[in-house]
Amino acid sequence: MTEESTSGAQQAVQEKGQQAKEQVQQATSSAKEQLQQATSSAQDKMRQQVDTRSTEAGHQVDSVAEAMRKASEHLSGQGNDLPAKAAEQVAQRAEQLGQYLRESDADKILGDLEDFARKQPLIVAAVGLAAGIAAARFLKASGQRRYRAQTQGSSYAGLTTTTYDPAVQSDPLASRYPTIEPEAATYPPESYPPAPPARTRG
């Protein structure tokens, strides 16, 4: 093999390797773009859901604030100033929360939650722990209910019905031994006694 042919073969191998490398880079870049698009789409959907749910929650909180304000006015009319003042404070805070939920977008709400988690990690951890304990208790109770339902169903399926027989119940041995009924005695005709002679009238 000449030097020219050897050099040509090496060059062909290098070109094939370069082409394979470029194909891998293109596939990797395409996968990254698709992943980014999917992530962006998922984030957009999450933002839309947060916006919708926060607006609905804001209206519900406004209803609570209105009810608390009516209760405060009712208590104040009856002369209960201290409970009326407390109810008014709750109504004001509920109004502020409802306005925040209605007017804030998803980015602001999620950002505020992240800031709160960084500033109050113990509270967030306690809430997560409480939620985990509640979920574990719920799953445990559900499993126990399913187990009781299955065991009761199997026990009912194994029950058999029996009929009451007075003879067997009065005599425990009657069920162990067969009952023998006496047969009627039979005699051959030859063994019958002769009939008495008929009387004649004189």
pLDDT tens for the 202 residues of the chain, in order: 555 556 666 666 677 767 777 777 777 777 777 777 777 778 788 888 888 888 888 889 888 889 988 988 998 898 888 988 998 998 899 888 888 888 888 888 888 878 877 877 766 667 666 767 777 777 777 777 777 777 776 555 555 555 555 544 455 555 555 555 555 555 555 555 566 665 655 4
What are the residue boundaries of the structural domains of the chain, listed by start?
105-149
182's CB contacts (< 8 A; 6+ apart) are none
Instruction: Give the DSSP letter string of 60-125.
Output: HHHHHHHHHHHHHHHHHHTT-HHHHHHHHHHHHHHHHHHHHHHH--HHHHHHHHHHHHHH-HHHHH
With contact defined as beta carbons under 8 Å apart, do 87 and 75 qualify? Answer: yes
What pLDDT is attached to residue 140? 77
What pLDDT is attached to residue 187? 54
**Side-chain half-sphere of 83: how many Cα atoms within 13 Å?**
11
